[in-house]
Amino acid sequence: MSQSTPTDHEVDVYAGEFVLTGDKSKSWRKTFPNSKAKQDVIWTNAQKMHNFTQVLARIGELQGEIAQKDAEEFDMSVAQLKEKLRDVMDAGMELDSSGKRQGLGAVTSAISEVNRMNGNHAAQKINANVVTMSHEEWLSNLDE
């Protein structure tokens, strides 16, 4: 590293490695792979490198990008899981040839899981014989 501020490339390499490992010395060694510096010099240089405004800003940007991507992937996974649970509920609510619903255990479990995902953890009694709203209306209420 030069005595002045690091180059954009050095900032990107250091910040990227630091976000991955959380290790300043390892990040500095990755940024300057041809250095023959001893460990104490590496540690000192890593501390200096880490304290540059550009480096701290880039680390913050990368961490923000990762957090946003994780949140998007989590939201997508939750949405996909809810859709699968709705499929289970739909299948369980169908009537068999004798006019009875056969999959009520699966429906109850699926409803319970969707409620937990929506933040409703209290047990809820479901009366399968009394329908006060259509199945579609009930499903649409899950998204609220």
Residue 3, Cβ density class (10 Å: 0-12 exposed, 13-18 middle, ≥19 buried): exposed
Residue 133: per-residue pLDDT: 59
CB neighbours (10 Å) of residue 19?
Answer: 17
pLDDT for residue 112 is more than 50: yes
pLDDT, tens digit (0-9, with 9 covering 90-100), for 26-46: 999 999 999 999 999 999 999
pLDDT at 143 > cutoff 90 = no
> Measured in Å, how far apart are the chain's first and last C-alpha atoms?
54
Round to whole Å and give the CA distance between 10 and 24. 13
99/46: higher pLDDT: 46
pLDDT by residue (tens digit) across 32-90? 999 999 999 999 999 999 999 999 999 999 999 988 887 777 766 777 777 877 777 77
pTM of the model: 0.51
